[in-house]
Amino acid sequence: MITAVIALAALAFVAAFGLAIAARVFAVPHNPKADEIEEALPGANCGACALPGCAELAKRIAEGKADVDACPVGGEGVARAIAAIMGMEFEGGGDRKVALVLCKGSDQVAAKRFFYNGVFDCNSAALVFGGDKACTYGCLGLGTCAGVCPFGAIEMLPGGLAIVDPDICTGCTKCVAACPKGIIKMVPASRNLHILCSSHDKGGVARKHCKVACIGCMKCVKAAPEGAITMDNFLAVIDYGFEIPAEVAGECPMNTIVVIGEAAVAGEEPTVAVGGDA
């Protein structure tokens, strides 16, 4: 009995010694800058950087495998702090981007094809003939985007329409990936004129489906600087590289184009911010 105990103890000692040697041989050196960078990051662990969390991003930045501005949530301030830790200069100058729901079709203005009474989720609703709206491009209004936003930047209006608060939006893009209709886009926060429609239906059909749909009349194209607004298969699309006068919104006969500070959603409360700096 004593012999067996001694043998087991000896075996355990040898195994422990072997593990200690292996730990030294195969140890991965820790970069102390990674800890400093992780402290500088927001700590949201939202995955907007396409990595598992802030700790992994910090490790990648410290190793030179990710840029100092790889965190879209932190913005320029965090990028500058990380650059200082890395002993680098950060020029910045990029325009902050926020999410924007390119749809204005609340229940008050958008026609329905049927009554949906299924799982309260946009992805589930989209599986049923593309959703209940006559406009198959429109916001389904079930709040899947709001549910995935880790910062509470998306509000569901009473008319069944999602709207983003640009002052809260961090640009993490989670809502963009969550929308089954693909109608949430990232736009420069400094721009204040937007076309809130995603329909590629012809004018007559679009008008029948939604009272505020783009009908492809091209009045905004003619009123805006050349190249600022173009037509993409019956839909007017803004090139945010241009400065577009607010007066262009008044040229739209369908009230599809909005300017920050004006009534952004037909049938809802006025002065709803839809993107950009209020």
> What is the rounded distance in angstroms from the CA atom of residue 91 to the CA atom of residue 184?
29
Domain 97-259 part of CATH 3.30.300.20: no
Instruction: Enter the CATH code of domain 1-94.
Output: 1.10.15.40
Instruction: Provide the pLDDT for residue 247.
Output: 93
Q: List the domain boundaries for the chain.
A: 1-94, 97-259
Instruction: Provide the pLDDT for residue 152.
Output: 92
> What is the rounded distance in angstroms from the CA atom of residue 195 to the CA atom of residue 212?
10
pTM of the model: 0.74
Instruction: Provide the pLDDT for residue 126.
Output: 95
Instruction: Provide the pLDDT for residue 72.
Output: 82
Instruction: Provide the pLDDT for residue 271.
Output: 35
- Find the DSSP H helices in the chain: 2-25, 32-40, 54-62, 75-85, 122-126, 144-148, 174-178, 203-209, 219-223
**DSSP assigned state of 230:** E
Instruction: Provide the pLDDT for residue 231.
Output: 95
CA distances from 235 to 42, 90, 145, 214, 247 (A): 38, 38, 24, 6, 19
Instruction: Provide the pLDDT for residue 29.
Output: 61
The pair of structure tokens assigned to 61 is: 């930045």
> What is the rounded distance in angstroms from the CA atom of residue 278 to the CA atom of residue 165?
10
The sign one gets for the Cα dihedral 244, 246, 247, 249 is: positive
Residue 58: partners with Cβ closer than 8 Å, 6 or more residues away? 34, 35, 37, 38, 41
3-state secondary structure 25-74: HCCCCCCHHHHHHHHHCCCCCCCCCCCCCHHHHHHHHHCCCCCCCCCCCC
Instruction: Provide the pLDDT for residue 9.
Output: 67
Say whether 79 sits in a helix, a strand or coil: helix
Instruction: Provide the pLDDT for residue 22.
Output: 60
Instruction: Provide the pLDDT for residue 262.
Output: 43
Instruction: Provide the pLDDT for residue 229.
Output: 96
Ranges of residues in the chain whose predicted pLDDT is under 50: 261-278
Instruction: Pick the closest to residue 57 from 71, 77, 46 (CA basis).
Output: 71
